[in-house]
Amino acid sequence: MNAAKKLIVSDEELEGLLGRYSRDVTAHVRAGKFDPVTGRDDELEQMTLILLQRLRKNVLLLGGAGVGKTALFIGLAQWIVAGKVPKLLQGARLIELEMSMLSAGSASRSDLEGRLMPIVKGVAERNTRRDAPPIMFCIDEIHQLMITYKASGFAGVADLMKPYLTAGDLYVIGATTREEYDEYVKVEPAIDRRFQKIFLRTPDVEMTFGILMNLKGNFEKHYGFEIPRECCVRIVKLTDMFIRNRNNPDKSILVLDLACARATKRGITGKLDDESICAAVAAEAGVDPSAIK
């Protein structure tokens, strides 16, 4: 009977809004636009378990900047595309809402709500019907949607979504740091209790090395030279030693890319060299290259 009901938001309207104000992460995965996400199977298993639940199927990823919170959006999409999720989630679409795009050019709060709410209602009614795979939202910096975050043009948007979160008609995966969670989300218990938290550990040296080894093939293809295993070891060791104010794996991935770019500029062929690695670390750490040994 539910399948026979006329949709409030038509397919054409919903797809038009999603095309303007969101990014289809699963579609991007199918197009091969992302590197593989590795080392986060435990967290992806936790996310899957939460998303299978009937009511409170909303996830809040908490971790420091650069530890890979938003990479888990991609990791989940990769699992969906690879068929590694249970039947209920197979074929799901993972949609990243671009809040800055939703608010850009809006003359008033009603303009913003006029763009967002048809998306929320359209997705919620389709998930309720359950005659197609679910559509799931992911939202980076989700603390900016809280009414207490005054610096945002979309502060308080979370309250508009609350009825749908309560009914279980939406799947929402949010990401923020622990500090921003404490300051802006935790103080709104009506929103906070609708999310189940997953705390992301900062990758250690061994885990970061494994991530680099899984990524290096794509870098080799892009730059056209070999990245030996010892170069990945060197990068992880040096970033851990000299770049203390940022987290892995982000800082090591950035240094790998920068070192390869420097080697390319210097005309290096064959394989990545240590001089380029040291120069990249020095640049990111703000120290003299001679200090890197």
Looking at domain 2-199, its CATH class is: alpha beta
pLDDT for the residue numbered 213: 97
Calculate the alpha carbon distances from 22 to 147, 174, 204, 272 in Å. 22, 14, 33, 37
Looking at domain 205-291, its CATH class is: mainly alpha
Reported as a single tens digit per residue, the pLDDT across 3-35 is 456 889 999 999 999 999 999 999 999 999 999
Is the per-residue pLDDT at 36 higher than 70? Answer: yes
Spatial CB neighbours of 45, under 8 Å, sequence gap ≥ 6 = none
Residue range 168-197: mean pLDDT, rounded: 95
pLDDT for the residue numbered 3: 47
pLDDT for the residue numbered 101: 87
pLDDT for the residue numbered 111: 86
pLDDT for the residue numbered 168: 82
Spatial CB neighbours of 205, under 8 Å, sequence gap ≥ 6 = 236, 237, 240, 248
Residue range 79-87: mean pLDDT, rounded: 97
Q: Hey, where are the domains in the chain?
A: 2-199, 205-291
Q: Report the chain's mean pLDDT, rounded to a whole number.
A: 93
Reported as a single tens digit per residue, the pLDDT across 124-139 is 999 999 889 999 999 9
Residue range 247-267: mean pLDDT, rounded: 97
Q: Could you tell me if 252 and 280 are in contact, meaning their C-beta atoms sit under 8 angstroms apart?
A: no
Amino acid at 112: L
Is the per-residue pLDDT at 200 higher than 90? Answer: yes
Is the per-residue pLDDT at 100 higher than 90? Answer: no
